[in-house]
Amino acid sequence: MEESKHYKGATLHFENEVFTDCIFEDCRFDEAKLWNAKFTDCVFKGCNFHLVKLEGCFLHNVIFEKCKIVAAQFNTCDKKFFSVQFGQCALMGCNFSDLIMKKTNFGKSKIAECFFNETQLQEANFCDCDLAGSVFHHSNLSKANFTDAVNYSIDPRSNVLKNALFSLPEAISLLNFMEIRIS
């Protein structure tokens, strides 16, 4: 078990390890196996996660800042107490399906071709995010904030959007699914 440790500039692979209150800075997790690893109150700054294996990984109160995360299957993480935040990250091809992510911050992140299927995202923050190619299906986005977000394609017929916040002109894209014409 590692507590209050600072890792910097390392290439890391952890399996069945436990980390509490640790900082990982400029580390690489390329194809890392984080199976059943436990991270509590940890911060990842400027780290790269490429094809990381997350099966059974426990992420509680974990913050990712300016990280690049490619093809991470967050939906395979331990769902109990799952709690993450993303600030100014590049998330590409990640899967967040079937997760409870209420009040999750994604602020100023690029979220490309990610999947949010049956995800609980009430009060989530997507401000200033680029959501190109990302899919929301049967997700609860009540009170989510999409102010100044761009390139989202959200079908209001298959997602809950009650009291969600959007800004113009991008909010007009919500009408694309309504089979109406605007002149």
pLDDT at residue 2 tops 90: no
**Which residue, among 105, 87, 1, has the nearest Cα to 45 in the 3D structure?**
87
**Which residue, among 179, 94, 164, has the nearest Cα to 126 in the 3D structure?**
164
Q: Which residue shows structure tokens 């690029």?
A: 110
| DSSP code at position 77 | S
The residues, ordered by sequence, that sit 6+ positions from 127 with a Cβ below 8 Å of its Cβ are 107, 108, 145, 146, 147, 148, 149
Q: Once rounded to an integer, what is the mean pLDDT over residues 137-155?
A: 97
Note the pLDDT tens digit of each residue in 5-37: 888 988 877 888 999 999 999 999 999 999 999
Mean pLDDT is lowest, of 11-15, 98-102, 113-117, 123-127, for 11-15
All structural domains of the chain, each given as residue ranges with its CATH number in brackets, are 96-183 (2.160.20.80)
Instruction: Find the distance separating the first CA and the last CA of the chain, reported in whole Å.
Output: 62
Note the pLDDT tens digit of each residue in 59-92: 999 999 999 999 999 999 999 999 999 999 999 9
CA 183 to chain centre: 36
- With beta carbons less than 8 A apart as the criterion, state whether 138 and 117 touch: yes
**Which residue, among 117, 94, 98, 118, has the nearest Cα to 106 in the 3D structure?**
94
CA distance 3 to 14: 15
What is this structure's pTM? 0.93
Tell me what pLDDT residue 15 has. Answer: 82
